[in-house]
Amino acid sequence: MQIGVLKDGGSSATFELKDVSTSFVNALRRAIISDLPAFAIDEIDMLENTSPLFNEYVAGRVGLVPLTWEENASPEARVLFSLNAEAVDSPRVVYAGELTTDDPNIKVFATHVPLMKLGKGQRLRLQGTAVIGTAKRHAKFQGAMASFGQLPDFKKNAKCNKCGECVKACPQKIISDSITLTAPDKCILCEECVEACDKEALKVIPKEDEYVLFVESYNNVSAKGQVKRALETMKAQADAAEKELK
């Protein structure tokens, strides 16, 4: 297997995978989505709530707030979070960043997420405990999203006179005037270019063993780091399965 980085934006990245099967890429996608441990607020004690939202609704929102990840954290770690918000003189929005923690390594990652709007004189006080889990248990533990597609095999033959109809038809705008793909990873294999060519000069088919993988991370781990964690998880699972067979 060969893997390369086509685009690295830190929290999001696009990878090119070669000499792999569809089942392997899909297994990697599923590992990124479901098997990576993450922190999430799982238990909440509502101390005071005079907001317009029910306790259960508030707890659901707080539980979905992305938290940072610490690789060396104990699997049994329990981190206490607190929130004490009040709209004194006028209505205001309560943001996730107002949640305080007793562990400086485990804190709110997306501080800009709005939790609710409090009316004048309304108050919200709560305590929550963050634990480690995976998205197999609940979506709030999901630390990244991943999707993949096959790379295109884009070919033109001698009938092509570079009329430009395929360039106009491409919804992704990734065909150059010289009739070549400028960004193969963005091709969605819609074949609009093929249908626009009345000379039958183009052919676009998916490659059998080349894929593009898009990963977006929701916490402080980079997209590249999430892929590495997923590959390590897959290896550990394979080693455990092999051990059981012996």
pLDDT digits over 84-134, tens only? 999 999 999 999 999 999 999 999 999 999 999 999 999 999 999 999 999
Does the residue 90 lie in any domain? yes
- Do 208 and 159 have their domain in common? yes
H-run or E-run covering 38: strand 38-49
* 148 contacts: CB under 8 Å, gap ≥ 6: 17, 25, 26, 29, 211, 212, 213, 214
Secondary structure of the chain: what % helix, strand, coil (to 5)? Answer: 25, 35, 35
- Do 79 and 102 have their domain in common? yes
SS3 state at 9: coil
DSSP 119: P
Q: Compute the average pLDDT of residues 195-217.
A: 92
- Do 90 and 27 have their domain in common? no
Distance CA 47, CA 135 (A): 28
Report the Cα–Cα distance between both ends of the chain, in Å, rounded: 26
Q: Which of 116, 141, 166 is the last residue of a domain?
A: 141
Q: Compute the average pLDDT of residues 169-178.
A: 93
85: alpha, beta or left, given left = phi > 0 and alpha = psi -120 to 50? Answer: beta
Distance CA 149, CA 190 (A): 12
Distance CA 94, CA 52 (A): 13
* 13 contacts: CB under 8 Å, gap ≥ 6: 5, 7, 214, 215, 222, 223, 224, 227
- Do 56 and 127 have their domain in common? yes
Structure tokens belonging to residue 71: 């690789």
Structure tokens belonging to residue 195: 């249908």
Is it the case that residue 246 has pLDDT exceeding 80?
Answer: no
- Do 163 and 109 have their domain in common? no
- Do 96 and 162 have their domain in common? no
Pick the range with the lowest mean pLDDT from 50-64, 67-81, 121-135, 232-246. 232-246
Range(s) of the domain holding residue 209: 2-35+145-215
What is the number of domains present in the chain?
Answer: 2
- With contact defined as beta carbons under 8 Å apart, do 85 and 123 qualify? yes
Distance CA 83, CA 98 (A): 6
Does the residue 56 lie in any domain? yes
Supply the pTM of this predicted model.
0.87
What confidence category does residue 192 fall into, taking pLDDT thresholds of 50, 70 and 90?
Answer: very high
Say which residue the tokens 């569809």 belong to.
22
DSSP 175: B
Query: Which pLDDT value is given to residue 244?
Result: 85
- Do 31 and 42 have their domain in common? no
Structure tokens belonging to residue 136: 């197999």
Q: Compute the average pLDDT of residues 216-234.
A: 96
Does the residue 232 lie in any domain? no
Average pLDDT, the chain: 94
What confidence category does residue 8 fall into, taking pLDDT thresholds of 50, 70 and 90?
Answer: very high
- Do 16 and 97 have their domain in common? no
